[in-house]
Amino acid sequence: KQEVTQIPAALSVPEGENLVLNCSFTDSAIYNLQWFRQDPGKGLTSLLLIQSSQREQTSGRLNASLDKSSGRSTLYIAASQPGDSATYLCAVRLREETSGSRLTFGEGTQLTVNP
Amino acid sequence: GAGVSQSPSNKVTEKGKDVELRCDPISGHTALYWYRQSLGQGLEFLIYFQGNSAPDKSGLPSDRFSAERTGGSVSTLTIQRTQQEDSAVYLCASSLQVNTEAFFGQGTRLTVV
Class of residue A28 by CB neighbours under 10 A (exposed 0-12, middle 13-18, buried 19+): middle
- Judging contacts by C-beta atoms under 8 Å, the chain B residues touching residue A36 are 104
Q: Is residue A22 within 8 Å of residue A64, measured between CB atoms?
A: no
* Tens-digit pLDDT profile for residues B72-87: 799 999 999 999 999 9
Rounded mean pLDDT of chain A? 93
Q: Do B99 and A93 touch (CB under 8 A)?
A: yes
* pLDDT average, residue stretch B4-28: 97
Residue A10 pLDDT: 96
**pLDDT tens digits, one per residue of A56-74:** 999 999 999 999 999 999 9
Distance between CA atoms of residues A89 and A43, nearest Å: 12
Distance CA A94, CA A113 (A): 33
The C-alpha of B97 sits at a distance from chain A's nearest C-alpha, in angstroms, of 9
CA B61 – CA B46 distance, rounded (Å): 7
Predicted confidence band of residue B66 (pLDDT cuts 50, 70, 90): very high
pLDDT at residue A100 tops 80: no
pLDDT category, B42, cuts 50, 70, 90? Answer: confident
C-alpha atoms less than 13 angstroms from C-alpha of B30 in its C-beta half-sphere: 11
Residue B52 pLDDT level (bands cut at 50, 70, 90): confident
Question: Is there a contact between B56 and A100 if contact means CB atoms under 8 Å apart?
Answer: yes
Q: What torsion do the CA atoms of A52, A30, B48, B32 make, to the nearest 10 degrees?
A: -10
pLDDT above 70 coverage of chain B, percent: 99
Q: State the burial class of residue B22 (Cβ atoms within 10 Å of its Cβ: 0-12, 13-18, 19+).
A: middle
Whether A45 and B104 lie within 8 Å, measured CB to CB: yes
Higher pLDDT, A14 or B41: A14
> What residues of chain B have any CB closer than 8 angstroms to a CB in chain A?
4, 6, 31, 33, 35, 41-43, 45, 48, 50, 56, 59, 91, 93, 95, 98-107, 109
Q: What percent of chain A has pLDDT over 70?
A: 95
Per-residue pLDDT, averaged over B46-69, amounts to 92
Q: For A91-101, what is the mean pLDDT?
A: 71
Quick check: B91 and A104 CB within 8 A?
Answer: no
pLDDT for res B1: 53
Determine how many CB atoms are found less than 10 A away from the CB of residue B27.
9
User: Please, what sign has the CA dihedral across residues A103, A23, A46, B8?
Assistant: positive
pLDDT digits over A29-43, tens only?
Answer: 888 999 999 998 889
The pLDDT, as a whole number, for residue A90 is 97
Q: Determine the pLDDT at residue B39.
A: 83
| Three-state DSSP class for residue B85 | helix
φ, ψ (nearest 5 deg) of residue B110: -100, 130
DSSP 8-state assignment for residue B41? S
Q: Model confidence at A2, in pLDDT bands (50, 70, 90)?
A: confident
Res. A97 pLDDT band, cuts 50 70 90: low
- Taking the C-alpha atoms of residue A24 and residue A28, their distance in angstroms, rounded to an integer, is 10
Q: How does DSSP assign A27-95, residue by residue?
A: ---EEEEEEEEE-TTS-EEEEEEEETT-SEEEETTEEEEEETTTTEEEEEE-S--GGG-EEEEEEEEE-
